[in-house]
Amino acid sequence: MKPTVAGLLTCHNRMEKTLQCLENLYAQNGLNTDYKLDVFLVDDGSTDGTSEAITRQFHLVDIIKGNGNLYWNQGMRLAWDTAAKTKDYDFYFWLNDDTILDQNALLELIKTYNHVAVLEQNDAVITAACRLAQGNDTFSYGGRIDKGPVLPNGKLQTCKYINGNAVLVPKAIYKKLGNLSNDYTHGMGDFDYGLRALKEGFGCCTTSDYIATCPPNEGTPGWCNPNVPLKKRWELLHSPHGLNIKEYIKFRKKFWGIKWISFAFKAYAKMIDPKFYKKISK
């Protein structure tokens, strides 16, 4: 039998990007011949006609309405929960709507999973190595270790952290870990999931080559940007649009224990005086 894949997306007022992402997803090699794909998309309160456009162009997409305050992690949780209640899928595929897949990307993710399953006799979360732009094989998102990104080198590589731009989660891992953690609103849910997978004895791997394109968020984050007024930096430190310090501390406590104090201190120092922090961190 062909493996079944649930594509999971969440979006908010990025109609053109979302439509381009879906067009690319439905043009994947192997669709309906090597695997079956159902798509679950949370439209988190878009006012730009996203849902209507998707319904016109991609009528098979299951659109779930959000309340406008879900952000990435909570939106993906809702999409995943809806998919899991619909069918017992073999794979769950996270996809950011600003990520453009190479035509063989899904096949490559499944192939990588199968390779790990045979080689390691284990299940693994597989994250796609994403490049900066078409024709520019500079790393933007994918697998990471403490020292930095895991650059694709043509071989299977393990990683410690996963960016959630394009990630394949097999059924066995979902059955053990469940959904993304409810501890987070926007960021950190992807890193949390990879670390939980490792803690339970599963693997985290990245693809051997770049298989998707996604430009990184540009510039220094506002919460630690010296060009942003202190009051605004403070607001962003506590906002889902910034670091979201309470959730960040929760994340650090969960996986680093008492060391969370050091991480929290550094975050506040970086927010209060970014230039001084940068100087003493060299």
Q: What is the pLDDT of residue 1?
A: 85
Amino acid at 270: K
Look at phi and psi of residue 277 and say left if phi exceeds 0, alpha if psi is from -120 to 50, else beta: alpha
Phi first, then psi, for residue 149 (nearest 5°) are: -70, 150
pLDDT recorded at residue 144: 98
The C-alpha atoms of residue 92 and residue 167 are separated, in whole angstroms, by: 8
Q: What pLDDT score does 267 carry?
A: 95
DSSP classification of residue 223: G
pLDDT at 217: 84
Which pLDDT belongs to residue 280? 59
Q: What integer pLDDT is reported at residue 282 of this predicted model?
A: 53
Instruction: Encode the chain (282 residues) as per-residue pLDDT tens digits.
Output: 899 999 999 999 999 999 999 999 999 999 999 999 999 999 999 999 999 999 999 999 999 999 999 999 999 999 999 999 999 999 999 999 999 999 999 999 999 999 999 988 999 999 999 999 988 999 999 999 999 999 999 999 999 999 999 999 999 999 999 999 999 999 999 999 999 999 999 999 999 999 999 999 878 899 999 999 999 999 999 999 999 999 999 999 999 999 999 999 999 999 999 987 676 565
How far apart (Å, rounded) are the C-alpha atoms in residues 104 and 207?
12
Question: Could you give the CA distance from residue 143 to residue 130 in angstroms, rounded to a whole number?
Answer: 9
- Report which residue type is found at 1: M
Residue ranges, CATH 3.90.550.10, the chain: 4-213
Residue 176: closest CA among 209, 208, 205, 198 = 198
What residues form DSSP beta bridges with 37? Answer: 5
- Kindly report the backbone phi and psi dihedral angles of residue 166, in degrees, each rounded to the nearest multiple of 5, phi listed first: -155, 105
**From CA 26, how far away is CA 49, in angstroms rounded?**
20
Residue-level pLDDT at 210? 98
pLDDT at 190: 98
How far apart CA 150 and CA 158 sit, in angstroms, is 8
- Number of CB atoms found within 10 A of residue 13's CB: 15
Report the 10 Å Cβ neighbour count for 17. 16
Q: Read off the tokens for 27.
A: 């043009």
Q: What is the pTM assigned to this prediction?
A: 0.95
Classify domain 4-213 by CATH architecture: Alpha-Beta Complex (3.90)
Q: pLDDT at position 238, please?
A: 98
